[in-house]
Structure 1
Amino acid sequence: MCSEPDDPAAVDRMRAARTKACAAVGAALRPRTADSGDVREAWGWRGRTLGGPVLGPYGVGWLRVVRSPVEKANGKLWTGPEEAERLVGPQVPRPRLHLVREWAEGRDAYRAELYDHVEGRAVSPTPVLTGAPGLSAAWWSGLRTALGRLSAVRTVRAAVRQAYLDRAMPKYLAFLPGPVPTVPPAWSTAHGDLHWANLTGPQLAILDWEGWGTAPAGYDAALLHAYSLAVPEAAGRVRKELSGALASDAGRFAELVVITELLQSAERGDNLELVPALRQQAGEIGHSIGVGRAG
Structure 2
Amino acid sequence: MAGPGKRAMPSNKPVQCAKKRKGGAPWQKQQGNKAGIEGGDWGVFVTCDLGKESKCMAEVVDLFSQSVESTSSDDHEDKSDSDDDDIEAQIRKEVEGLKPSASKSRPFHAIRMDLPCLSFVRFDKSIDPEKMVHQLCTEAYANPEKKRSRWIQRMTPAVSVRKTLSVDLEAFAREILKPHFHSGGPPKKYAIRPVVRSNKKFNRDVVIKTVADVVGPEHPVDLTNYDLIILVTVVQNVIGMSVAGSDYDRLKRYNLAELYDPAPKAEPTESQA
Tell me the TM-score normalised to structure 1 length. Answer: 0.30
Larger RCO (alpha carbons 8 Å, 6+ apart): 2
Q: TM-score, normalised by structure 2?
A: 0.32
Higher Cα Rg: structure 1 or 2? 2
